[in-house]
A = this chain, B = another copy of it.
């Protein structure tokens, strides 16, 4: 059994508040974060049912990963994504939970 490769992202200590806020400040990226928060395990992009083109979805996932909001694990030709919930909670206590509890659709 091979091990899946995990794409690099910032460590907990490197998580930057401005970058995390910018990453969260987009309706599609918030949708991804909520989806991953409610998931049992890692989710691939094509399983997310995002309302955007595949390349746009990939871009949003990259922004989230580079800000340290999610991890991406490569398995064969697919990337599986996980929310870094405990890392974010350790660095910015309460931030992610306050964002997740506002679950209704935003204006745009």
Q: Which of B21, B91, B95, B101 contacts A93 (CB 8 A)?
A: B101
Is A106 close to B, CB under 8 A? yes
In contact, B17 and A26 (Cβ under 8 angstroms): no
Is A108 close to B, CB under 8 A? yes
Is A77 close to B, CB under 8 A? no
In contact, B94 and A16 (Cβ under 8 angstroms): no
Chain A binding site: helix, strand, loop or mixed by DSSP?
helix
Is A8 close to B, CB under 8 A? no
In contact, B18 and A26 (Cβ under 8 angstroms): yes
In contact, A25 and B27 (Cβ under 8 angstroms): no
In contact, A16 and B98 (Cβ under 8 angstroms): no
